[in-house]
Structure 1
Amino acid sequence: MMKNLCAGMVHLALNRSKWVAWFMTLTTLLVIAVAAVPSIWPEKFQQFHHITVDTDPENMLSQDEPVRVFHHEAKERFDLNDMVVVGIVNNRHPMGVFNAASLSRVYELTEFAKRLQWDGEGVISIDLIAPSTVDNIEQGGLGSVNFSWLMPTAPADDIAAQQVLERAKRIPFLEGTLVSEDGQALALYLPITKKELSYRIRSELLEFTKNWAEHGDEVHITGLPVAEDTFGVEMFIQMAISAPLAMLVIFLLLWWFFKKLILVVSPMIIAMVSSLVTMGLLIATGNTIHIMSSMIPIFIMPIAVLDAVHILSEFFDRYPIHKDRRKAIEEVMTTLFSPMLFTTLTTMAGFGSLMLTPIPPVQVFGLFIAIGVFLAWLWTMLFIPAYIMLIDEKRLEGYGHHVGEEDHSMLGRTLTAAGRLTTHRPRIILLFTLAAVVVAGYGISKIVVNDNPTRWFEAQHPIRVADRVLNDHFGGTYMAYLELSAPDQAGTVDKQTLLQQLGERQAAGEASGNTAAPYQQFAAAIEQADASTADSFMDVLAERAEQGLASASDDDYYSWDDIQLFLEEQQQRKELFKQPEALRWMEDLQAHLLDNPKVGKVNSLTDVVKTVYRELQLGEQSQFRIPDSANAVAQTLITYQNSHRPHDLWHFVTPDYRRTVLWLQLSSGDNKDMEAVVQSLNDFLTNNPPPVAIDSQWFGLTYINVVWQGKMVSGMLEAFLGSFLVVLVMMIVLFRSLILGVLAMIPLAVTVGLIYGIIGLIGKDYDMPVAVLSALSLGLAVDYAIHFLARSRSLVEEAGSWQAAVPLVFGEPARAISRNAIILGAGFLPLLAAPLVPYQTVGLFIASIILCAGAATLLILPAILTLMKKLIFKVEE
């Protein structure tokens, strides 16, 4: 079957050369047209056709992922939005940024920021946190609080500017959030309707403040939404630079290896066609351009030329023998068809394994790379022979390397020396391999899983600089949220507890002179009431108490009045986060979380209650505490709602007071730091159980990063192991030998293990790019072993023994493998010039894996074959 497929494709390519070239050209133009011109689509499909960029880590999780669903529910419940953080630092003025001139500019910036809206989307001005938009809270006499704008207008002089700082420092929510403790800086927090507007908002703000540095005011803008959106913009720039650079490097290497410019053009056409069609299909099917999918052209181009390099390399040796391009290319295609088909299938399997991960953008990346690899193979099988047939044979004069002629090039001499070393000293090679495996195992044990979207930029990028500066001055620019909630008890009523509490109330009432009968009548009402629904149960009891009070005699009046008060207290107990014991427990939790050095600030409902209560008590600092009763707590909250921003209360608690949220400001967005905070909460809950049942759950972008990174690690491991087994089975089927199938996997396993060991040893974080490297490299690295073993077995059959075949194996086959490794590895090196760290990581480590896999194939496999030749080769030695 394989021979028939090979013969059919070769026959088509050689006899219909022009038809093949035109068909490839037309299909490529058609896909590009469909992707680029949505108007040619049927109207009902046009809604799916648009190019969108998505660098939001939240979308690394599926839409129905529980943590993502809860994140959006909680944000809506507390009316929370993602924020752009704008920091203003002044190190030149002795009063820092709190001088009249600087605060006047800040006031103007705030007014400008309020207007940053486009079609109703942009900055949410009502929730903007700035000196001129937040309240100053001061006592107005015993039991009274005055609310006024912290900075109603630009300060007239430096004394007024300092007063802004002093007033802000008395308000816990503002100190460390709005104003820095050292008085050198302040920060504005701009809530936005959509994260996709972050880059535009940042650009507008930087343009507005471009001259501020002349006055000593440094403006820094950061925040996860800004980092993610900016990455999306710079990602396109990176694509426009890296892809052409990769093509240039590949072109120059091909020209250097094969000398004939006219032949070198054909692999470049394959690379370009494969990349364009793959990206066209990606866009036409409505998929977004993500950080992963943006790298598809960079992967496709080097991979697309691999089979062409094998064909040209073999043709380079065979053409001088036949002096007939048809006969030479037929021989080349017959020899290489099976290995090239299986290397294509293994590469597709390696990338296709990414579809097993629970990360949607990675699934899309793996699928379309696999499609691109198949297209590259198909057009290589058809177009390269067709292209050669379209060349005037006179232009091939002097082309090629004669078989048997010694290769005196640097590559040829190196390969000859490598062949002698590995076959004459096989045990030494394997000893070094074993040492590498031990080192790899130790290094892998040191790997730390961690990621942070802000670190996707280089250290000197303005966003990274802003991140460092503002996290030095403030509590932190990374937001994480912790929701605390009372368990849902709808439909459950503990009558016995209620009766017990009523009995205690009766005893106290009788001691004060109340009559017993009303209590007994009310106890009977409790027994008879339907307790299937808590709310209706309490409504029935409230109605009974009102009736009792309305018809009470003078003797029973005070008892029924006490019963009504008892019911009100019971109802109020449902409002969990008005209870002093719950708020004090939250206060302890805040203090515990602040013990983590990465947690710079925790704001919650307790800060509102304590601040207002202090001012109600004449501003005495000793009264900065949780009141002793639920009624007193309720009074502070009612008072707070007389401020200019009463809606702020609902950012911390729900109107039924059964859910509340703690705002955490972290000075680091690293996953490992967020994980440490989560563990800190777990430790606190273990050692300090709440006074009543309270559930807790995290949300926010910083926490979501932890979740998807964890899924990435487990998903990549499962994908790698799954595809490793698939490729192993394919190798056994290809070689019809269990031993050769296992041998084909050894260079790959050693290479991947060693690279990951080095990652652990040098302290490189296991982040998103590193996570996908193993699965990406699997399909690529095993190709060399397939070609080496397939050609070695056929050459041993021709030469009669392994020893006689070694010089031949380290001739054309080794040259083709070396050229492939060099071209493919070098094709990724332009990514090192990228200003975006994920691209640099992929470029460096993929190139390292490819080059190491090539070297491992040419050193380890010959050593094993030398020691096991009698078992592997069924020829007389």
Structure 2
Amino acid sequence: MRKSTARLVHYSLDHPRSIIAAMITSTVLLLLLALLPTLSADRFPYLHPVSIDTDPENMLPADEPVRVAHNASKKQFSLHDGIVVGIVNETHPRGVFNVSTLTKVDEITRFAMELEGVVEVDVMSLSTVDSISQAGPGTVRFQWLMAKPPADQAEADDIRSRAMRIPFLRDTLFSADGKALALYIPLRNKNDAHEISVALQSKIDAIGSGDDGFHIAGLPVAEDTFGSEMFIQMAIAAPAAMLVIFLLMWFFFGNLLVILSPMIVAVIAALSTMGLLIVTGNTIHIMSSMIPIFIMPIAVLDAIHIISDFFDRYQHYRDRRKTLVKVLGDLFQPMLFTSLTTTAGFASLALTPIPPVQIFGLFVGFGVLLAWFWTITFIPSFLMLIPEARLEKFGRKERTGDGDSHDDGVALFLARSTSRGAPLIIAGAVLLTAIAFLGISKIEVNDNPTRWFEPDHPIRIADRTMNSHFGGTYNAYLSLKYSPPPYDPDSFAEGLAEKAQRMEEALSAAAEAVQQHLNSLDRGTTLDLLDEIDRFVRQRRLSSESAPKRGAWTTLEGWLDWAFASAEDDETPPADGRSELKETLASAAAEIREASSRYRSIVEEVAGQAPETSDDFLAALSLEIETISTSEDRWRVVGTMLSSVQQEKQAFKDPLLLGWVSELQEFIGQHPVVGKSNSLADIVKTVHRDLTSGSEVDYLIPSHRDTVAQTLEQFLSGHRKDDLWHFVTPSFEEAMVWVQLKSGDNRDMQDVVAHLSGYLEGHPPPVDLDEPQWFGLTYINVVWQQKMVSGMIDAFLGSFIVVLTMMTFLFRSISWGILSMLPLTITVALIYGMIGLLGKDYDMPVAVLSSLSLGLAIDYAIHFLARARQLHRELGDWDRAREAVFGEPARAIGRNIIVVGLGFLPLILAPLVPYQTVGYLIASILLLAGGVSLVLLPALMTIGQRWFFAGDADGSGVPEEAPAGSKE
């Protein structure tokens, strides 16, 4: 130790009560600053209260482009995250379509709509949706599917038959086999999902399930429920782990007073860190809630090294102060560097693009340093206050021969085995590492909040059951947006003029066709001839295949209605009205040409004003045309021309585009994870069927734009007209496809995205669209997972280089620096290789634990190598140093492995899978890191001793005893 650090140690030995008072004061102060504004916010407005956030969406920064787009699209289509309640009945012959079940569904629906936080108007249930049927030719009837619960089975069967006619709802609101129903309950704030699900479950329990199985599912429920249970689990798991550690330390050291000090350090470090987290205004997120779990084992690691060495040496010195000076002299530098390297590992997480992970890394790093500081100050102070009489029987008894105890025998066996079997050990390590890298190549990055619960948890059961009956409870949305051509006033005006010219030609051709048809007719009164012309024009309009021709016939139809109005009002029509009608038609043709010419002139005038956007151009043009049409009724054809241009921007009324969307849905539905998709195309096809014949033959996209518009107008006459705007914007320039997935796994969502991307490359839309954009919770989870993994890898590699540099500095040798990194490298490789070989997903807990492996694995290597090098300098021979290093240092490492490794195994009994993962991996990391340090390092040092120990100089680094100051 340097003189400054030696003074710190000696001050702790000389002034123990001051150190303890400082620790208590600082901890209490932090806790008060954290709790007071929470308990009484009005009295402490300048302090930050406790803030909890369990939303995984906040893993991404608020300004992350994909998150901004996600929120914008949700707002655009008025979408809300929500809960899905499933009802399954597999015992009744009619499934869920029976009186009892439907009565319960209605009651739960009414209850859900009254809950605070529920978007009442968007609740989707049999009680809140329309059935659709044909009311007559060209007329559709919308009526509530289940206005009230059925009085008998006949009414229930009628509800079923009407429901089955709506493909949009099949496998979404009810299963095709009629055995399951769903209620979709949108929430104003998805963070209320757990609270609302509890209220729903209470209502379900109150009405009784009977033969029905009730399930509550949905990503918001899984995420919010995990957040609620997470804190309960933390309150149970951390104390349970510490209790096991306490009992194991008692087993090893047998003195309650002595082993209290490491426990106090671990608790104080965790409490202080969480207090500082709150005081600085940071939110307790899913990640930060696990800070205590990470700090405690690291805090205990250093403390066990001190207690273990103190235990081994106390009976030799039989003096607390002398023993502690010797122990801290040997351990101060290794403990400092292990703490610094661990801090570097966690602080490197600040380089990840995930804000909660950044906060987690920085505060765990702080907690590690704080634990180190209290370990080297508080533990010596605490031990100095223990009466000598209480330590009379404490410590390891002096041994007179080799292998006088079981642990001596194990140590001697290891020392000799690592010498004799060094080549075999090294070869085995190389082989295991090669196998590990094979496993690493098989790792799949994947996560799913639903899998954070055990298989028998109600959320997992609901997930399996409902996804087996419905299209899927995981939602992803595909946004499709019309991409208008680049705007330039002159080019835009030129385009409008060309369209007007085409309209004029189409109208003239239509008028000429009417003229020819009129010539072919026999004599007749004007009214009779007008009826025949009306039939002819209507027939030609309906049979027109191209939009321009269809628009021309529609316009001409309206024009002729106006032009022939006076003839229809003639009280004494001539016996043969052909000549009169021919004159009117000739006049109409001339007016069409004049109107077209006038329209083009207006377009040029507006272009001269250089409007900034196409919308501004059309608004100015519309104003000019409105003035003309008001003063001269015959100019309304100009308005028709303008209307045809404006309709082109309503891209999602285009039958060709809707057909393309329908084909896209058909393709994406071929993916095994996709159970169902819904879009504007489905609404149009359903309404068109009943608008036309009511037969499934007419369940299709109509071929004309005006027919599409008619179906949408009919839909808007229903009870749930606002549902239309969930799938298309009022401008009809942007639409959305709702994709239901049977799995919320990230890899499945990614596979669906790739599946569709390949299709889009070979099947471009018939009009220009922006690149389709995915959004929704399932997709957001994929994005933050990808960023987390790439960020974790970058952070780990960066911290690896930092730690290697620190180790080189510590040992003043690049070869020793590399040697110290081998346990870390092999441990990480074996852990992740095992994960890959076992097929376990690389998820959030696994990714974060890579930082913990950095701290734990390097701890043992530093302690082993530092003591080995020190003993070699003292003894001058590696063979003697090897047996010595397998004394106190190896015993301390072994005790650490057992105490901390077994101590955190209670976590595997936790009901939350991430906590189980933490328990398994901490134990695995400790076992592997300790094993590699105790077996591989001495084997390598034996083979390369001439290289590693070349030029070693003496110097133990033990602080000199300072005169005792005034003791408290």
TM-score, L = length of structure 1: 0.96
Written as runs of structure 1 = structure 2, the 5 A alignment for 1:463-542 is 463-487=459-483, 491-492=487-488, 494-511=492-509, 512-513=511-512, 514-515=589-590, 516-530=593-607, 531-532=610-611, 533-542=613-622
Contact 2:38 2:49 (8 Å CA) reproduced = no
Give the partner amino acid of 1:477: T
Where does residue 84 of structure 1 map in the other structure?
Answer: 83
Take 1:410 and 1:291, find their aligned partners in 2: how far apart are those partners?
A: 44
Alpha-carbon distance in structure 2 between the residues aligned to 1:549 and 1:333:
97
Kindly provide the amino acid, as one letter, of the partner of residue 13 in structure 1: S
Q: Any idea what the Cα deviations from partners look like across 1:404-424, whole Å, max 9, x if unmatched? A: 644544433222212211111
Cα distance in 2, alignment partners of residues 763 and 789 from structure 1:
35
Match of residue 61 from structure 1: 60
Aligned residues of 1:34 and 1:40 also touching (Cα < 8 A): no
Assess, with a 3 A threshold, how the Cα gap between structure 1 residues 129 and 48 changes in structure 2: closer, same or farther: farther
| Aligned residue runs from structure 1 range 341-490, under 5 A | 341-401=336-396, 405=400, 406=402, 408-487=404-483
CA drift of 1:74 comes to: 1.1
Deviates more, 1:823-832 or 1:406-415: 406-415
Q: Is the 8 A contact 2:41 2:49 kept in 1?
A: no
The structural deviation recorded for 1:54 is 2.1
Report if the CA contact (8 A) 1:34-1:41 is conserved. no
Range with bigger deviation, 544-553 or 659-668:
544-553
What aligned pairs does 1:680-691 form with structure 2 within 5 A after superposition? 680-691=755-766
Larger deviation, residues 649-658 vs 32-41: 32-41
Which secondary structure does the structure 1 equivalent of 2:136 belong to? coil
Contact 1:720 1:775 in 2 (8 A): yes
The CA distance in 1 between the partners of 2:44 and 2:347, in whole Å, is 27
Give the drift of 1:701.
Answer: 0.3
- Of 300-309 and 592-601, more deviation after overlay is shown by 300-309
Cα 1:44–1:354 change in 2 (3 A) is: farther
Query: CA separation in 2, counterparts of 1:774 and 1:666?
Result: 31
Mapped partners of 2:677, 2:407: distance in 1? 62
Residues 126-525 of structure 1: pairs in structure 2 closer than 5 A: 126-210=121-205, 215-401=210-396, 405=400, 406=402, 408-487=404-483, 491-492=487-488, 494-511=492-509, 512-513=511-512, 514-515=589-590, 516-525=593-602
**Structure 1 stretch 399-408 or stretch 302-311: which is displaced more?**
399-408
The alpha carbon displacement at 1:638 in A equals: 1.1
Per-residue displacement from partner, 1:64-113 (whole Å, max 9, x unpaired)? Answer: 11111111111111111111100111122111111111111111111111
Q: Assess if the C-alpha contact under 8 Å between 1:446 and 1:761 holds in 2.
A: yes
Q: Matched residue of 1:88: which SS?
A: strand
Matched, 1:861 2:937: yes
Aligned to 1:770: 846
CA RMSD of aligned residues (A): 2.0
Q: Is contact 1:322-1:328 (8 Å) kept?
A: yes
Question: Counterpart amino acid of 1:219?
Answer: F
Change (3 A) 1:697 1:48: farther
Retained in 1: the 8 A contact 2:48–2:279? yes
Q: Give the distance between the partners of 1:704 and 1:48, measured in 2 at CA.
A: 33
For 1:872, the equivalent position in structure 2 comes to 948
Contact 1:39 1:46 in 2 (8 A): no
Q: 1:625 aligns with which of 700, 718, 722?
A: 700
- Secondary structure (helix, strand or coil) at the match of 1:596 reads coil
Larger radius of gyration: 2
CA contact (8 A) 2:132 2:142 kept: yes
Identity of aligned residues (%): 52
Q: CA deviation at 1:214?
A: 5.5
d(CA) in 2 for partners of 1:299 and 1:625? 59
Per-residue deviation at 1:587?
A: 0.8
CA distance in 2 between partners of 1:268 and 1:543 (Å): 80
Whole-angstrom CA distance in 1 between matches of 2:473 and 2:831: 34
Deviation at 1:612, TM superposition (A): 1.1
The answer to whether the Cα contact below 8 Å between 2:139 and 2:691 also exists between their aligned partners in 1 is yes
Once the two structures are superposed, residues 379-414 of structure 1 have per-residue CA deviations (whole angstroms, 9 ceiling, x without a partner) of 111111111211111222233235664454443322
CA contact (8 A) 1:801 1:876 kept: no
Deviation at 1:279, TM superposition (A): 1.7
SS of residue matched to 1:231: helix
Judged with a 3 Å threshold, the aligned counterparts in structure 2 of structure 1 residues 210 and 549 are, in CA distance, closer, same or farther, namely closer
Tell me the CA shift for residue 679 of structure 1.
Answer: 1.1
- Evaluate the alpha carbon distance shift between residue 376 and residue 550 of structure 1 in structure 2; reply closer, same or farther with a 3 A threshold: closer
How far apart, CA to CA, are the structure 1 residues paired with 2:218 and 2:777? 10
**TM norm structure 2:** 0.87
Deviations 1:255-308 (Å, cap 9, x if unpaired)? 111122221111111112112111222223232222222222222222112222
Aligned position for 2:659: 584
Kept after mapping to 2: 8 A contact 1:266/1:387: yes
2:616 and 2:355 mapped to 1: Cα distance?
46
The answer on 1:779 being equivalent to 2:855 is yes
Offset at residue 321 of structure 1 (A): 2.2
CA separation in 1, counterparts of 2:730 and 2:359? 43
User: By how many angstroms is 1:542 displaced?
Assistant: 3.6
Q: Which amino acid aligns with 1:332?
A: V
CA deviations on 1:771-819 (whole Å, 9 max, x unpaired) are: 1121221122101111111111110011111112111011111111111
3-state SS in 2 of match to 1:660: strand
AA aligned to 1:414 is: V
2:617 partner amino acid:
F
Residues 730, 488 of structure 1: CA spacing in aligned structure 2 closer, same or farther, 3 A cutoff? farther
Rounded Cα–Cα distance in structure 2 between residues aligned with 1:645 and 1:459: 38
Q: CA deviation at 1:326?
A: 1.2
Q: Are 1:11 and 2:21 matched, yes or no?
A: no
* Alpha-carbon distance between aligned partners in 1 of 2:885 and 2:693, rounded to the nearest angstrom: 92
Specify the alignment match of 1:755 in structure 2.
Answer: 831
- Structure 2 counterpart of 1:302, which letter? P
Is there any run of 5+ residues in structure 1 with no aligned partner, and where?
A: none
- 1:543 Cα deviation after fit: 4.6
What secondary structure sits across from 2:205 in the alignment? coil
**Equivalent position of 1:570 in the other structure:** 645
1:705 aligns with 2:705: no
Q: After the TM superposition, which of the residue ranges 10-19 and 807-816 deviates more from structure 2?
A: 10-19
Q: Once the 2 structures are TM-superposed, how far is the Cα of residue 128 of structure 1 from its aligned partner?
A: 0.6
Checking the alignment, whether the CA contact within 8 Å between 1:797 and 1:875 is kept in structure 2 is: no
Q: Which moved more, 1:629-638 or 1:207-216?
A: 207-216
Secondary structure, counterpart of 2:706 in structure 1? helix
Q: Deviations over 1:194-224 (max 9, x none)?
A: 1121111111111111266652011100101
CA gap 1:222/1:157 in 2 versus in 1, 3 angstroms: same
**Letter paired with 1:674:** M
The Cα of 1:654 is off from its aligned counterpart by 0.9
TM-superposed CA distance for 1:875, in Å, is 6.0
1: CA distance, partners of 2:681 / 2:264: 66
Would you say the 8 A contact 2:35–2:50 is kept in 1?
no
Q: Determine the C-alpha separation between the residues in 2 that align with 1:842 and 1:417.
A: 32
For 1:654-678, what per-residue CA distance to the aligned partner results, in whole angstroms no more than 9, with x for missing partners?
1111111111111110111111111
Identify if the C-alpha distance between structure 1 residues 603 and 876 changes in structure 2 by more than 3 Å, giving closer, same or farther: closer
The yes-or-no answer on 1:638 pairing with 2:713 is yes
> Could you say which residue in structure 1 is the equivalent of 2:691?
616
1:87, 1:186 within 8 Å by CA — same for their partners in 2? yes
Q: How many Å separate the matches in 1 of 2:30 and 2:927?
A: 34
Runs of 5+ in structure 2 lacking a partner?
513-588, 954-968
Q: What's the CA shift for 1:361?
A: 1.4
C-alpha displacement at 1:635, in angstroms? 1.1
Where 1:209 maps in the other structure, the secondary structure is: helix
1:652 to partner: Cα distance: 1.1
